[in-house]
Amino acid sequence: MALIAMAVWDTEENGRSKFTKDTLNSLGQTISVYDGKHRIVVVDNGSCQETKALLSIVSYSNWCQVITLPENIGTAKAINKAWQLRKPGENCVKMDNDVVIHQPVFGEDDNPIDQDSWIDILEECIKREPTIGIIGLKRKDCIETPWNTMEWYRSELVMLPHEPGQRWLIVEKVHHVMGTCQMYSSACLDKLGYLYQMGELYGFDDALASVRANVAGFITVHYPHIVIDHIDPGGDAYYEWKKQSSGLAMKRFNVEAQAYRLGYKPVYCGPEGE
């Protein structure tokens, strides 16, 4: 069982309501949302009326739970609001609101396809190899490969434990799991607690979580066998703001990461995200 958490900050200026709609549609096509096995919690960071209307529909249909905030508190802190609802033994997914997953579990006329969904496969990977702390679907623009000459981006293919009759599962061990769609094992969250947010700076909560997980004794991996698309084309003012903010945050990320690695800072973070 897993809790899927998604933070949403859609404004009339950034025009991201269409991405949220496509992402929610993708979730509805790739997991069964009514069998009670997995839960979806969307945290609204003070979005525009178009997104509020969309979230009202999915909430009313019991498709997912919506937590409405009066203002934007940041992605990590918003995800933490959802993760506070985690049940004992429940894995958690951090998912951005601009991704489409190409692995449907329903065919024509909404007839179920005889296959496990991506979220079930990720949970099976964790069950097979309990040292996996974070496992994510791999975007097409990620550059981790076993032959990359840069250590941070050099990966290692790992075949997971296997018993006769089981499907073969191969993951890609990496230093950083991109936060577009990543699952945190329950055991890892017991050690890490919640995501850490670097003040008002944008991003790097996923990269810091990977560092924290490694320090806590877990490995971080991609499951690259399911195709996903990052549907935000960029090139607008919002993209430029994210790019500039990320550049400013890089220096602090390096300081924070080193503090975790050297043991100066505990890997556990409370729900306040600081």
Asked if residue 199 is part of any domain, the answer here is yes
pLDDT tens for residues 39-63? Answer: 999 999 999 999 999 999 988 877 8
Whether the Cβ atoms of residue 133 and residue 221 lie closer than 8 Å to each other: no
What pLDDT digit, counting tens, does each position of 59-109 carry?
887 789 999 999 999 999 999 999 999 999 999 999 999 999 998 776 666
Reduce the secondary structure of 170-194 to three states and give it as a string.
EEEEECCCCCCEEEECHHHHHHHEC
Domains: count for the chain: 1
Give the residues across from 222 on adjacent strands. 136, 172
Rounded Cα distance between 37 and 46, Å, is: 29
Q: Which two tokens stand for residue 95?
A: 């998912």
Structural domain harbouring 253 = 2-261
User: Does the residue 219 lie in any domain?
Assistant: yes
Would you say residue 274 lies in a domain? no
Q: Which tokens hold the place of 230?
A: 């990052």
Strand ranges of the sheet holding 2-8, from the earlier edge strand across to the other edge: 65-69, 38-45, 2-8, 91-95, 181-184, 132-137, 219-223, 170-174, 156-159
Instruction: Examine residue 266 and state whether it is found in any structural domain, yes or no.
Output: no
- Assess if residue 148 is contained within a domain: yes
59-72 pLDDT tens trace: 887 789 999 999 99
CATH number at residue 74: 3.90.550.10
Q: Is residue 185 part of a domain?
A: yes
Look at residue 222 and tell me if it is in a domain: yes
Q: Tell whether 273 is covered by a domain.
A: no
